Amino acid sequence: MGAVNEVFDVLVIGGGPVGGYTAQKVAEAGRDVAILEEHREIGEPVQCGGIFTPRVMDMVDCRNTILTDIHGCEFYSPSGRELVVDGGETEAVVVDRAAFDREVVKGALHAGATVYLGTLATGVERDGGDLIVHARGNGEAETFRCKVLVGTDGVKGNVTGWFGLGRPYRILPGFEADVVGAEYTSGYVKVFTGQAVAPGFFAWLVPGARTARAGLCLGQGNARPYLNRMFTDGPPSRFLANAQTLGYITGGIPIGVAKRTYDNGVMIAGDAAFQAKATSGGGIFTGLVCAEACARTAVEALNAGDTSAAFLSRYETRWKKAIGKELSLYLYLHRAFVKLSDPQLENLFMLLQNPRLLRIINQQGDIDYPGRAILALLKEEPRLLKFLGPALRAVF
């Protein structure tokens, strides 16, 4: 095993928002916690559109990273038919994602956590009840001992793999461009649908501060040609014809249901546990909710002197109670959505154009908890069942 350099109660692998928030909560409870982050800078490279609901700001003080507020969405059908949804108040915010990640990790450091930058976790072994994590930090081999290991290493999910905690149902490939010169309506996100635009998911145009982010995810395959096409063909090109690109962002969003999110002395959270929403790809709010449950469970386990899988299973009970039903609903909605052909999408747009339905969406729509609005929509317009039926039957 070799000499162990550092010893912590909790070791968090991955210094993204979920790892940072987990570490903050553990440190606030007075436990020794460290984050290992493979990159030399928190927040880089950016792999995200940086849009989430204001609920996140109740958890992380990140108002200084907000680029703009969002209160509505302009949806486009494959043929370019427009459907405007407007909640009338701030429904979401767009943040500078790199700055946001740094704010989260700053919170952890202020609470007393330690961060090791440029430190890639490469393997793990058990030693009695402890875990020994092997890493490479700035070219040197390092080892860390801990009682509880938390895997928040994102889409790579090394910890998930090391402990056989499952594989994602799918990793949605995403590609985005930061652009100047796009036409957008301030306060609105544009969402584009259709096989030619983004098969298996959707494309978007998100306003920022003097810039915008054009991007998309696919069900599978190479997203780059579809991003290029947004500038030249179909409904997105109407808004991007004069846009110039400042830079690109690429990444994958793992969706699905983890086999388990704990093992003896181990928990996984965030993208490592496929906790992003399968409908929108948003993983920050859901990841932070799970991080809170994870940190609480880690601290309780340490206090009880019991880090067994049986004890840590309460983490899974907690996050499922908080957000599990929604995550399942998102996954089934995703599965139902990807089956829709372009003509079916056009029909869906036509149905939703009904002012009564739009009123329900505007008044009851909640990006984080969509179940209530969906049920109200179905009650008002049972023909929607044709599109959502399989998803809802599976969940309820």
Least distance from ligand FAD to the Cβ atom of residue 352, Å:
23
Least distance from ligand FAD to the Cβ atom of residue 41, Å:
10
- Whichever of 109 and 394 has its CB closer to ligand FAD, that residue is 109
The per-residue b/e assignment along 332-343, b for 16 or more CB within 10 angstroms, e otherwise, is bbbbbbeebebe
- Whichever of 204 and 337 has its CB closer to ligand FAD, that residue is 204
Please report, for residues 45, 61, 260, 262, 266, the alpha-carbon distance to residue 310 in angstroms, rounded to integers and kept in the order given: 37, 34, 12, 9, 11
Contact residues: ligand FAD, CB under 6 A: 13-19, 36-39, 47-52, 120-121, 152-156, 158, 174, 176, 215, 251-253, 270-272, 276, 281-284, 287
Alpha-carbon span 247 to 176, nearest angstrom: 8
Strand partners, 191: 75, 204
- What letter represents residue 181's amino acid? G
- Whichever of 283 and 365 has its CB closer to ligand FAD, that residue is 283
Alpha-carbon span 283 to 97, nearest angstrom: 13
The residue whose Cβ lies closest to ligand FAD is 283
- Confirm if 32 and 10 have CB atoms less than 8 A apart: yes
Least distance from ligand FAD to the Cβ atom of residue 270, Å:
2
- Whichever of 29 and 203 has its CB closer to ligand FAD, that residue is 203
Least distance from ligand FAD to the Cβ atom of residue 279, Å:
12
3-class SS string, 123-161: EEEEECCEEEEEEEECCEEEEEEEEEEEECCHHHCHHHH
Least distance from ligand FAD to the Cβ atom of residue 379, Å:
29
Least distance from ligand FAD to the Cβ atom of residue 94, Å:
8
Alpha-carbon span 92 to 344, nearest angstrom: 28
- Whichever of 253 and 258 has its CB closer to ligand FAD, that residue is 253
- What letter represents residue 155's amino acid? V
Strand partners, 112: none
- Whichever of 78 and 287 has its CB closer to ligand FAD, that residue is 287
